[in-house]
Structure 1
């Protein structure tokens, strides 16, 4: 299924009296790169957001921003025991190093920032998580719809170019047999000129020269491989999974065969067709850079 890697979506998240903004923006990237930016109060949901995004997006750089403040009201306060014990241990170690006999003053340590924290209701936090993930799903669905729509537009353009490329390949196939015949005709014209001038020539050498030229400029195998790549490319356009990287690889193979045809076929008409082919392939390559 052809999808673009670019898109944008925005959803609002209502949390009590506050309204948060959730935005998704996608741009081209060779691999999957997910960036989630949330306020510190919502860091507890960041990993779940990334997992949800991965279920929708397979390639590209996706940036998700959650803007707003956590309106959860504290239900009380609690001591960060792990942090407090760490502070006590550090104070004791310093006292030993300095040979001090002063007792650890817990009350002083309680004033250290981060020791006493606001305690938030578990149910409220789970509700916030549920609402944010719900909004993210809606945003991803909207984002995916936009990417699909853009992808279909790209697909139509690519399919039209593929049809034109196939017609150019058929023209090359029609010109191909005449390459050797034209070369044979030129050689025999030279031979006839030698005859008129009374010069001798080796018939076997002439035939060997024609055979060698025919082998050198034979592009049958290249055309067969080129047509095979074209069929696979066209089939990949209709697959359900992410195909951007595969299309990019196939296009490299197609371009390689076209270059070989251009270097082997000693013919002006074929050379013109090869230039036209390379131009169309480059246009498709530009389109593929935006396909997931």
Structure 2
């Protein structure tokens, strides 16, 4: 079963007054390219998250973000009451002694900007909260994997249908091969007559030359090899392991045989069929880049 490298996953966990939200997206890439954005308080989990993501996802350009949504209560910044009141009394006394107008509504915002009024606290992270973060990451990765599998099933159906189209086009080539023999014989005969209308041609010798020329244009081997490559492509799609790179290599081999068919065609109708085969193959190559 094929697995796409494109996907999206999201998970949420609530711990105390915090809601931990994890989102992960992936696109196709030759290697594993992981970009992680997380709050500084969870920095100690970075290596563990990276290791798990690399193991689960294998390949792809992956972006994961971890964010925290807090309640208003948990977001409130603590104020140092004693320092605030000390500043307030000092300002009130100064204003009173110097007959200065004292408006508390104007003074309070100014006091809040003074040093040490806002109490800086280092947040302690409980082990249970770190576990909640890891669980959310695992759920988001699992959601991404399920998304990838669904996309892979769609890709598999599309790829196999295009391979069958190529085989169908290949079948359409055969009727034109007999016509091609007649056209080659006629073309050589007409060329001889243009040289000299009275020239006498040895029929046996003429047939030998036609056969020799047709052997140069014979496409039997190319058709056999193309069918084998298509069969191998289908077998590989059904393998359980990651086969994206292998499918790309098989598609290249299919392309070589189709190109050779085109160069040997020597027939307008066969050339048209070859063009249609190339069109389907290019779509196969593009889709193969998205497969894990």
Task: Specify if TM > 0.5.
Answer: yes
Instruction: Name the counterpart of 1:171.
Output: 172
Instruction: Name the counterpart of 1:112.
Output: none
Residues 60-79 of structure 1: per-residue CA shift (max 9 Å, x gap): 111111113899xxxxxxxx
| C-alpha deviation, 1:169, in angstroms | 0.9
> Does the 8 Å CA contact 1:58/1:242 hold for their aligned counterparts?
no
The 1:183/1:145 distance shift into structure 2, 3 A limit, reads same
Supply the distance in 1 between the matched residues of 2:206 and 2:189 (Cα, whole angstroms). 9
2:238 aligned counterpart, secondary structure: coil
Supply the distance in 2 between the matched residues of 1:253 and 1:198 (Cα, whole angstroms). 49
Q: How many residues align?
A: 243
Instruction: Name the counterpart of 1:100.
Output: none
Instruction: Name the counterpart of 2:5.
Output: 5
Residues 181-234 of structure 1: per-residue CA shift (max 9 Å, x gap): 43124434666x58x943233556534431331122111121121111101111
Supply the distance in 2 between the matched residues of 1:31 and 1:180 (Cα, whole angstroms). 50
What RMSD, in angstroms, separates the aligned Cα atoms of the two structures? Answer: 2.7
TM-score (norm 2): 0.74
Instruction: Name the counterpart of 1:149.
Output: 150
Q: Which runs of 5+ in 2 are unaligned?
A: 75-120
Instruction: Name the counterpart of 1:66.
Output: 66
Moved more, 253-262 or 6-15: 6-15
Instruction: Name the counterpart of 1:200.
Output: 200
Moved more, 157-166 or 196-205: 196-205
The 1:68/1:274 distance shift into structure 2, 3 A limit, reads same
Instruction: Name the counterpart of 1:93.
Output: none
Residue 184 of structure 2 corresponds to residue 187 of structure 1: no
Which structure 2 residues correspond to residues 174-253 of structure 1 after superposition, within 5 A?
A: 174-188=175-189, 197-203=197-203, 206-253=206-253
Which structure 2 residues correspond to residues 251-262 of structure 1 after superposition, within 5 A?
A: 251-262=251-262
Instruction: Name the counterpart of 2:265.
Output: 265
Instruction: Name the counterpart of 1:139.
Output: 140
Supply the distance in 1 between the matched residues of 2:65 and 2:233 (Cα, whole angstroms). 36
| C-alpha deviation, 1:237, in angstroms | 1.4
> Does the 8 Å CA contact 2:185/2:210 hold for their aligned counterparts?
yes
TM-score (norm 1): 0.74
> Does the 8 Å CA contact 2:20/2:133 hold for their aligned counterparts?
no
Moved more, 281-290 or 263-272: 281-290
> Does the 8 Å CA contact 1:41/1:69 hold for their aligned counterparts?
no
Supply the distance in 1 between the matched residues of 2:130 and 2:237 (Cα, whole angstroms). 38
2:57 aligned counterpart, secondary structure: coil
| C-alpha deviation, 1:261, in angstroms | 0.7
Residues 85-143 of structure 1: per-residue CA shift (max 9 Å, x gap): xxxxxxxxxxxxxxxxxxxxxxxxxxxxxxxx96957xx33x23322221112111111
Higher-Rg structure is 2
Residues 37-63 of structure 1: per-residue CA shift (max 9 Å, x gap): 222221111111112112321221111
